[in-house]
A and B are shown apart, each in its own frame.
Chain A
């Protein structure tokens, strides 16, 4: 039982470490150009469908990329740049959903769903584990013996 528990702990540790590495290890952008590109990836092109300004060749996307570069050069914060673009082109260009109102569900539901899935898996595995530990009752043993005897008699 202890060995099994240890293996589960090891699996959980590796899983959590992998998730943390994937989520955190992006690091800060190394240069202003990196920062501008990272920002452009999270701003939607106002005249394109489903393309960020980093991906689009539309003139307005070029314009926004140029403005982002200028603002970064001026030392503006990411929040300022995002807010300025939302002011000019609307909330829809912000690909980082806000954490309030209905949009907050985008953040909440995956967490709730993930926690539910983990809890479900835990319950299922524990039930399966309990089933593995079942021992035959005296009645079960008697039934098996009776069956063996019957087979031996027929054979």
Chain B
């Protein structure tokens, strides 16, 4: 056997392997890398997933019963710094809008203890329903991978926008104003989040 035929045979074996490996590398290089950053579910424009639970104070809570007003569904954890930073904004929102029935806050606890939650609200204030019972599946329903996140639910029960990270009262008000403005537009020109 000549060296020429040996190298020819080697080429026939190596070339397909090389082609397959190159294709794999191209695939790996061009595909969207999973797990490189957090993914927050986009539920804007969808009917808000139901929340029917008992609050930590033992009161029944049903999100549907708040139809007719805006609801800020806030996901939080007491050890999360941005959650602590946004809390005064939620308190201000609740104090301004809850008495008139325009809007209110509900907190969904993201894996925390009742003692921590009570201590948190004692320290930072806030008087609204807090859901800790079986709260983790609610986070999945709302596509929440990390806290804080807040879903702004319109009076018609549709999620207008999910705000990722700490919220400010002005952010929530802007979302509400935008939705209200859409309702005043002539029929046929409204976005999908409208009723």
Contact = CB atoms under 8 A, between A and B. Distances in A.
Is B one of A's binding partners? yes
Contacts of A70: 137
A59 B136 contact: yes
Interface of A: 44-51, 59-60, 62-64, 66-67, 70, 85, 87-93, 95, 102-103, 105-106, 109, 112-113, 116-117, 120, 124, 127
A92 B32 contact: yes
Contacts of A124: 9, 13
A47 B140 contact: no
Chain A contact residues: over half helix, strand or loop, or mixed? helix
Interface residues of B, number: 35
Contacts of B16: 113, 116, 120
B34 A44 contact: yes
23 contacts: A45-B35, A46-B39, A46-B145, A48-B35, A49-B35, A49-B36, A59-B136, A60-B144, A62-B136, A63-B136, A67-B140, A67-B141, A70-B137, A87-B41, A88-B43, A92-B32, A92-B33, A92-B34, A92-B39, A93-B34, A105-B24, A109-B24, A120-B13
Contacts of B34: 44, 50, 92-93, 95
B146 interface: yes
Given A44-B35, A46-B38, A105-B27, A116 B20 contact: yes
A95 B13 CA distance: 32
A103 B23 CA distance: 12
A90 B39 contact: yes
